[in-house]
Chain A
Amino acid sequence: DVVMTQTPVSLSVAIGQPASISCKSSQSLVGTSGKTYLNWLLQRPGQSPKRLIYLVSKLDSGIPDRFSGSGSETDFTLKISRVEADDLGVYYCLQGTHFPLTFGSGTKLEIK
């Protein structure tokens, strides 16, 4: 299985400050199509997970451009340029290139 190593486990960020989450995969996530199937999800307290980003850097509809995704091969990053109160929750990376699909262990974002 592809292991997704996500760091940090938690971070506390003041409103208006930036945040960054890293996700490293144990093998390349480039598929035979040449596409990289790396997603970022946010699970807010009491809610289901919500897709934020797919294909490394494509924002889902309605996701503010404060969020951005980057990376390639095995090394990926989610950045929030200015954290807002609504951003709190647990962030997950998810690889969809290799079966079984695997998630990172999650990063809990708290508002300082």
Chain B
Amino acid sequence: EIQLQESGPGLVKPSQSLSLTCSVTGYTITSGYDWSWIRKFPGNKMEWMGYISYSGSTNYNPSLKSRISITRDTSKNQFFLQLNSVTTEDTATYYCASRTRLQGFAYWGQGTLVTVSS
């Protein structure tokens, strides 16, 4: 069974960078799927942030394009989120998830709350 697990700091200061790791078990991230980051803001709003594909290509939400980077370490079967110049508006629960176009987001991590505050 595919399992995803987010990890990273729960508190980030404004103007700094937010960095999260998604560790994948039960599947090799180079075998298939797009590997996404999604966030849920306080109050239920969900936002797809971007993905890195199994081949290594990336696709970002234009609303974040200047601040976001998604990379991977295939040797560790992990992929990463970096979001630069964060503000309090970036406070959210961040999820990693696997997706196919046909079937959507099949597997999700448990989510990690990141608070942006000084």
A interface residues, Cβ below 8 angstroms from B: 35, 37, 39, 41, 48-51, 54-55, 60, 90, 92, 94, 96, 99-103, 105-106, 108
Contact = CB atoms under 8 A, between A and B. Distances in A.
A45 B61 CA distance: 27
Contacts of B59: 99
Given A54-B102, A94-B46, A106-B44, 14 more contacts: A35-B102, A41-B105, A48-B111, A49-B97, A51-B104, A55-B103, A60-B106, A92-B46, A96-B99, A96-B104, A99-B59, A102-B48, A103-B47, A108-B44
Contacts of B103: 51, 54-55, 60
Interface residues of B, number: 22
A112 B9 CA distance: 39
Contacts of B15: none
Interface of B: 44-48, 59, 61-63, 95, 97, 99, 101-106, 108-111
